[in-house]
Amino acid sequence: MRQIVLDTETTGLDPRHGHRIIEVACIEMENRRLTGHHLHKYINPEREIDEGAQAVHGITLEFLADKPKFADVIDEFLDFINGAELIIHNAPFDLGFLNAELARLDRVPVETLCNGVTDTLKMARDLHPGKRNSLDALCERYEIDNSQRTLHGALLDTELLSEVFLAMTRGQNSLMIEPDATPRSTSAGSARQTERKPLLVRRPSAEELAEHQRVLAAIDKETKGGCLWLAGG
């Protein structure tokens, strides 16, 4: 099975307000293995980048000034994802932006070209109800090194998401039971009790708390006071 792990970065939160894609990254998996093939493009959005969005990804309009427009990369992008299952964290967000870009160019929606879409955020919420299920939280939960992720970036995020996806779905292959397998007998003397490791709770530093509040404030400004995390204290 061919799967494409996909992520985008954008000028803002809502394509209905004219916001555009400024970065798209796709990495390929075949039969749950990374192939080494990827597509990564920075895109000139032909508009300003909202302050709140720039605080998240750090991409400036000056950096994008000489980059191609979406119309220049669309055929290469569609060829790369054609026929594959897409794996996206918070899929409605990325699909909304991609389909808005395609509509501008009179192209069909992404879903008509792909073999289904898996939303890893929905999957994580089903697996871990009531828990934080951001990409960073999932990396911590599945012990995936995300120390290089100081800002959001589409290519790094797809690499991390591929590892998270494989970790979340690893049990699918381990549920197979050989038909001739016989259960092992154990005695009270040979049974071993598994010791639980103590739960490690890491407190954020003052610098991390300040950065967290800065990002929340930027989101709150972008959404005109709609940041629930900031409102909740």
Residues with catalytic roles? 152
Strands (E), the chain: 2-10, 21-30, 33-42, 85-88, 117-119
For residue 52, CA distances in Å to 13, 70, 76, 88, 206 come to: 9, 22, 30, 22, 21
What number of CA atoms fall less than 13 Å from residue 140's CA on the CB side?
A: 12
- DSSP structural state of residue 129: T
Amino acid letter, residue 112: T
Phi, psi of 133 (to 5 degrees): -130, 30
For residue 48, give the nearest of 56, 59, 32, 37 by alpha carbon. 59
Please state, in angstroms and as integers, the Cα–Cα distance from residue 182 to each residue in 175, 177, 178, 185, following that order: 15, 10, 9, 9
Q: Give dist(CA 96, CA 98) in Å, integer.
A: 6
